[in-house]
Structure 1
Amino acid sequence: MVRTKLCGLGTDADVRAAVDAGADALGFITDVGVDTPREVIPERAATLAASVPPFVTTVAVTIPESVGGAVDVADRVDPDALQIHGEFSPDEVREIRERAGVDVIVALDADEPDRARDLDGAADALLVDSLSDDGAGGTGETHDWAATRELREALSTPLVLAGGLTPKNVAAAVETVDPFAVDVASGVERADEPGRKAHDALRAFVREASRTAETGTA
């Protein structure tokens, strides 16, 4: 069954709603160096992550400038996993894994299949997204799911699908790509308050992501 990561959580209420929705992982965006309403300072990310119950994975999402910067975020937030954006080499990813002592998810653009192949085996998971020019996610844009399916079949590392997912399209995305997990941020947010989550949308996303597995169509 596909796993779900609900990302960009910044309030206690949103964390509780994401847990109640049945998410497998929660993402906390910190120290990214870009303008986003989803960012929280590392200390706040640590507090939110510490409030998450057992058996739900916490993920610190960051855009570090160096291996040391990535390790510093892991040390300050103390997550179960670290999601890094940026042009890190396979050897640098391995170093981050070793020094941080947590699973490392590398985010990359859907237009970088060769880089995904280079990182295969270096990271614990590869997150394929529709990234902005500065390497950030949350763009709300989808990409070629059929091509991502081909990439997923060529990789040994688990693939996480992101980019423009919503409760309305996630079931089709799962059916097409058959990823290890799906990741959403902007697709479950309130229209009246950027960065804050619509709790009914969180529930709907998790439900719809699981629907193909329940019907046996994936």
Structure 2
Amino acid sequence: MRTRVKICGITRVEDAAAAVDAGADAIGLVFYDPSPRSVAIQQAVEICQAIPAFVTVTALFVDAPVEQVRDVLSQVPVDLLQFHGDESPQYCRSFSRPYIKAIRVREGLDVPAFARQFPCSKALLLDAYRPGVPGGTGETFDWGLIPENLDLPVILAGGLNPDNIESAVAQVRPFAVDVSGGVEAAKGIKDSQLVNQFIKEVSCADQR
């Protein structure tokens, strides 16, 4: 099975276009003000205009007020929601949109039990754990903590880059991978060469 690729933290139209040209299956727009990759609504609209059919636009939120999510959905042509905080299953379902739920993996966490709480989620995004930081740490985690046969498809995130992605895919065999800082020239600014290299390495891993 081919591993899907999401390039997250897109802040510029040219970076979105470069990701699509490189073969990305999805892009991520961050609606979380503390993040250096956060985008305003108008900025997001302009980026979406550069996205062709069959590339998924994902909107990322972290414990956002319901009104904020609805405001984004009313103005930005979003295909998928990504919830990266402590959102409840009821909250995630309340927008009547496809969504994925993120979890920060650490020793002792019952990942299968967490997955069972979100049966409507389209996938479970597994990220690195750092206290008080919802994501974007640039750190990997112990992939050996990922249990087999989870109830949801796995999206692997956390510290991925062109140098480690082939081994990550070979070990975990996730449904998809999600990268942000690992393909950047600066925070929020993607490096098109790194994006291309990352996607090529994923393809190489799939052929192993």
Both structures adopt the same fold (TM-score exceeding 0.5): yes
State the Cα distance separating 1:108 from its structure 2 match: 1.4
After TM superposition, the structure 1 = structure 2 runs for residues 158-169 of structure 1, keeping only pairs within 5 Å, are 158-169=153-164
Higher helix share: 1
Q: Which residue of 1 aligns with 2:180?
A: 185
Percent identity of equivalent pairs:
38
After TM superposition, the structure 1 = structure 2 runs for residues 28-177 of structure 1, keeping only pairs within 5 Å, are 28-30=29-31, 32-34=32-34, 36-96=35-95, 98=96, 102-111=97-106, 112=109, 113=111, 116-148=114-146, 150=147, 153-177=148-172
Q: Does the CA contact (< 8 Å) of 2:63 and 2:87 recur in 1?
A: no
Segment drifting more, 46-55 vs 70-79: 70-79
Distance 1:79 1:132, change over 3 A: farther
Distance in 2, matches of 1:44 and 1:134, equals: 27
Distance in 2, matches of 1:46 and 1:60, equals: 12
Q: Does the CA contact (< 8 Å) of 1:61 and 1:82 recur in 2?
A: yes
State the Cα distance separating 1:116 from its structure 2 match: 2.7
Distance in 2, matches of 1:72 and 1:118, equals: 29
Distance in 2, matches of 1:50 and 1:63, equals: 24
State the Cα distance separating 1:132 from its structure 2 match: 4.2
Deviation beyond 6 Å, 4+ runs, structure 1 = none
Matched, 1:213 2:198: no
Show structure 1 runs of 5+ residues with no match. none
Distance in 1, matches of 2:134 and 2:41, equals: 17
Distance 1:176 1:82, change over 3 A: same
Give the structure-2-normalised TM-score: 0.90
Q: Which residue of 2 aligns with 1:4?
A: 5
State the Cα distance separating 1:195 from its structure 2 match: 1.7
Distance 1:123 1:85, change over 3 A: same
Q: Does the CA contact (< 8 Å) of 1:106 and 1:125 recur in 2?
A: yes
Name the SS for the 1:4 alignment partner.
Answer: strand
